[in-house]
Amino acid sequence: MKKKLFKIVGIFLLLIIGALIALPFILEGKIGDIIKAKVNENVNATLDFTDADLSLVSNFPKANLTLKGVSLANKAPFEGDTLFAAKNLELNMSIKELFKSVDEPISITSLKIDGADLYIKIDTDENANYDIAKDSEDETDDSGEATTFNLSLESYEITNAHIVYNDLAGKLLLDISEMNHFGNGDLSLEKSELDTKTDAFVSFEMDSTKYLNKNIVKLDALIGIDLKENKYSFLKNEALVNQLPLVFDGFVKLNEDNQEVNINFKTPSSDFKNFLAVIPQEYSKNISNVTTTGNFEVTGEFTGIVDDTHIPKFNIQINSENASFKYPDLPKSVRNVHIDTKIVNTTGITEDTYVDINKLTFMIDEDKFNLTAKIADLMGNTKVNAHIKGNMNLANLSKAYPVPDGMDLKGLLKADITTAFDMASIENKKYENTKTSGTLDLKDFEYKSEELANPVAINSVAMDFNPKTVTLKEFNGKTGKTDFNATGTIHNLLGFMFNDEKVEGRFNLKSNQFSLNDFMVEEVAEEGATETSEEKIKIPSFLDCSIDATANTVLYDNLTLKDVSGNLRIQDEKAILTNMTSSMFDGKLGFNGEVSTKEEVPSFSMKLDMEQFKIGETFSALELFDVLAPIAKVLKGKLNSDIEISGKLTDDFTPDLATISGKVLAEVLATDINPNEAPLLSNLGSKLSFLDLKSLDLKGLKTMLDFKDGKVTVKPFTVNYNDIAVKVTGSHTFDKQLSYTATLDVPAKYLGTEINQLIAKIDEKELQNLTIPVTANIGGMYSNPTVSTDLTSGVKSLTTRLVELEKQKLLNQGKDKAKDLLGGILAGNTTPKDSTKPKNDTKEDVKEVLGGILGGKKEDSTVVKNDSVPQKKDAVKEAATNILGGLLGKKKKKDTVN
């Protein structure tokens, strides 16, 4: 019997276990549908999740439902926004809740949310994205119970949550990150107590002013809950803001149209460590071992009504009397600390909040600092009336207080400044409404910035503050190799300090040596990028000023400019140069132009006027000039030049040759040439043996260059070599690929004795004016050029000229013979004077010369055919060959007799 009973019990247990195992697979789809249906039919939003996991074993006799990848997306007017999202949302409930229909309420006993993101937004029209509940005439059933979920929580927890409250209409932003919140209590009861623990990082911003920035907040609170009265009382509560402990009590009551608030708080002790605890821990460091004297107390209260037009009235008092503190590992202490400050609102109107700093003083050694201020209309048009007075050795701050890493303060500060202004005037740039007066002197100060390559050592600064302007009486310092001394006026210092505006003003700047390399900033490649760090010059974005500058020496890369002066206008990350002059390469330089670093790739546009520049030094030192005219650096002399150029700049502020365009007009004043230093000239000289390039006369040469898209085009120009005119035209690329033509008008006297003798037979006077054009084609690379000569046009020109001369000579001979014949007839003599001379001897000689040059054939009538003795035509041909060889730089062929 017992065996049978055990058998039945065993079978029953197996069935129960089997059902518990199998039931989740049957109900998972149903549960997911029920949850989505119940939420979506009651809200103006869409709930979704990627997976629903139901377990009946892990928390038996309760069911455990886990939703993964949860999201609640808004509909219009916030279409596309996600109000809520979570990695996991875990619900615990009674198993019987699983068998209810869609229309029946489901009670949840515990809730866990992990990785939640809650984004609450109120737009400028005051629409709230959390207002998603649908209107319903009948929200309860006949028993009065809600037709959705029943809130019968016994515990809940929220881990690693991020909550953002962004009120665009009220200009308020609350950001709570890395929040963990735990609560225990039976919320199904009308009256209960909820024990909570919370920690998070809190940032709070109102009207563009940050009051908290990732400050640590911890709260342990026992909250009494009265659901009937909608009243939540703080029974036993401790908070930690940064490291400042607070205890508080009071209540918050939710009414239909408003909320009632009555909360009091204070520091649990009066130890001055409480003051250090107010400062974020990353600045105050560990305060547990700090030695303190004196007191520091914070007390406050919030009372009143919260509605659309009111906030709670409040009065916060901060007091300290004759306090001091000293960090154990620092040599100096801060003493005579007096603080008397209150933050008050007596009306409940936001704009009526004010801060009154009656006293804030402290001393380090004998240095003393004092501040008094009244700040009214804190949440509206903030009005400030303040007075600052103090003498401070800034280096003592780091000896008495743990300043952040990298902040190495130095300098002697003396200030006595009174100011009164309102933020509306500053925001609207009505600086005439501000009243600031006093003096500020700073000596031996050092300033560091990400927009500067080197620290700026400020030897002395003296400033006078007036209602409209700040007069910079002295600003003397050094950074890197650069020294500077500046005076001037600043028109909107308050706008720069409070409104993130640009520094406007006019300055006079003098420098003995100014190095542009000192203003290179290092840009580090983004994490994961393969590029290495690069240095870039960046024109500071906060400057909007005009600078009349003079400098004895300006250093830029490997260049040295002397006696620099002119105007520099800096605006919108652009530097505009006007009437700038300088001495460089023993010449005078004038330039106007602009440089902009606003875009990712900096750009420039400039006009240069160069006078009496040394040619060799200029073209050797400047890459741009070497690219434009590589041959020029072998010239010894001076030039004048006008240059217009624009394009992009590289990171080190040198022109990007692939992007530049412009034109150059150059005039060579006087020069010597060393052809051995340039392969192009030596190759050209070897091809034209009669040409001694050292004797080229470039004085007075003017030429124009156009350059664009990596190509330089040279307008035709002429240079002289003795009495040879050389015409040059062509182009080359920035990588020095040559394509030039040089045409030389060579006088006949350079062609050798043979051609001169032949020409002399025609007319000796013509020998002086007769020239032959010789064309030299120049190609290849500048370092390895190719030079070829073309005599086709030269031979044709010589032939035409000789023919013309011979025609003219024959005509002249015919006229003479006609005169002789006419004279004989008149004298009765019909016989020619010399009947034995052949009529065409001279004409035949000319044909022989031309035939030799052209390579033609003519028989010598005085020689028997097939005779072994060289014919006259061979001699003429050999003479022509020697002429051509001479022009091409070849050796003259020796005379031979067969």
What per-residue confidence (pLDDT) applies to 25?
Answer: 57
Q: Which of 457, 445, 460, 451 is nearest to 483 (CA)?
A: 457
Maximum average pLDDT range among 148-157, 221-230, 463-472: 221-230
Domain span including residue 701: 467-525+532-710
Average pLDDT of the segment spanning 811-819: 66
Question: Is 231 a member of any domain?
Answer: no
Question: Is 50 a member of any domain?
Answer: yes
Maximum average pLDDT range among 198-212, 302-316, 538-552, 665-679: 302-316
In the chain, the amino acid numbered 180 is N
What per-residue confidence (pLDDT) applies to 723?
Answer: 74
Place of tokens 């990353």: 282
Extract the tokens encoding 77: 């007017």
In the chain, the amino acid numbered 476 is N
State the sign of the Cα–Cα–Cα–Cα dihedral 749, 753, 757, 758. negative
Q: How large a percentage of the chain has pLDDT more than 90?
A: 16
DSSP 765-805: GGGGT-EEEEEEEEEEETTEEEEEEE-HHHHHHHHHHHHHH
What per-residue confidence (pLDDT) applies to 792?
Answer: 67
Question: Is 269 a member of any domain?
Answer: no
Confidence tier at 715 by pLDDT (50, 70, 90): confident
Confidence tier at 285 by pLDDT (50, 70, 90): low
What per-residue confidence (pLDDT) applies to 138?
Answer: 46
Confidence tier at 869 by pLDDT (50, 70, 90): very low
Count: domains in the chain: 2
Question: Is 152 a member of any domain?
Answer: no
Question: In the predicted model, what is the mean pLDDT of the chain?
Answer: 76
Rg of the chain over CA atoms, in angstroms?
A: 49
Place of tokens 């009551």: 253
- Classify residue 14 by burial, with Cβ atoms within 10 Å: 0-12, 13-18, 19+: exposed
Question: Is 445 a member of any domain?
Answer: no
Q: Which residue has the higher pLDDT, 454 or 499?
A: 454
Residue 661, Cα to own-chain centre: how many angstroms? 23
Query: What is the per-residue pLDDT across 463-520, written as a single tens digit (0 to 9) for each?
Result: 888 767 888 899 999 988 899 999 999 877 767 776 677 778 899 999 999 887 776 6
Residue at a domain's end among 710, 726, 745:
710
What per-residue confidence (pLDDT) applies to 256?
Answer: 85
- What is the rounded distance in angstroms from the CA atom of residue 468 to the CA atom of residue 433? 8
Query: What is the per-residue pLDDT across 573-612, written as a single tens digit (0 to 9) for each?
Result: 888 889 989 888 888 888 898 888 888 888 888 888 888 8
Query: What is the per-residue pLDDT across 88-119, written as a single tens digit (0 to 9) for each?
Result: 988 887 777 666 665 666 677 888 999 999 99
- What is the rounded distance in angstroms from the CA atom of residue 616 to the CA atom of residue 628? 14
Confidence check: pLDDT of 868 > 50: no
Query: What is the per-residue pLDDT across 288-311, written as a single tens digit (0 to 9) for each?
Result: 788 888 888 889 999 999 888 888
Query: What is the per-residue pLDDT across 186-196, written as a single tens digit (0 to 9) for each?
Result: 877 888 888 99
pTM of the model: 0.54
Query: What is the per-residue pLDDT across 604-615, written as a single tens digit (0 to 9) for each?
Result: 888 888 888 776
- What is the rounded distance in angstroms from the CA atom of residue 191 to the CA atom of residue 229? 9
Confidence check: pLDDT of 534 > 60: no
Question: Is 630 a member of any domain?
Answer: yes
What per-residue confidence (pLDDT) applies to 641?
Answer: 82
Residue at a domain's end among 108, 135, 162:
108
Question: Is 683 a member of any domain?
Answer: yes
- What is the rounded distance in angstroms from the CA atom of residue 240 to the CA atom of residue 216? 8
Average pLDDT of the segment spanning 62-85: 86
Q: Which of 421, 418, 417, 362 is nearest to 392 (CA)?
A: 362
Q: Which residue has the higher pLDDT, 355 or 209?
A: 355
Confidence tier at 314 by pLDDT (50, 70, 90): very high
- What spatial distance separates the first Cα and last Cα of the chain, rounded to whole Å? 151
434 DSSP 8-state letter = -
Can you name the residues that pair with 344 across neighbouring β-strands? 315, 354
Point out the least confidently predicted range of 151-160, 340-349, 385-394, 835-844. 835-844
Maximum average pLDDT range among 52-66, 144-158, 630-644: 52-66
What per-residue confidence (pLDDT) applies to 497?
Answer: 72
Average pLDDT of the segment spanning 624-631: 71
Question: Is 191 a member of any domain?
Answer: no
Residue at a domain's end among 108, 139, 171:
108
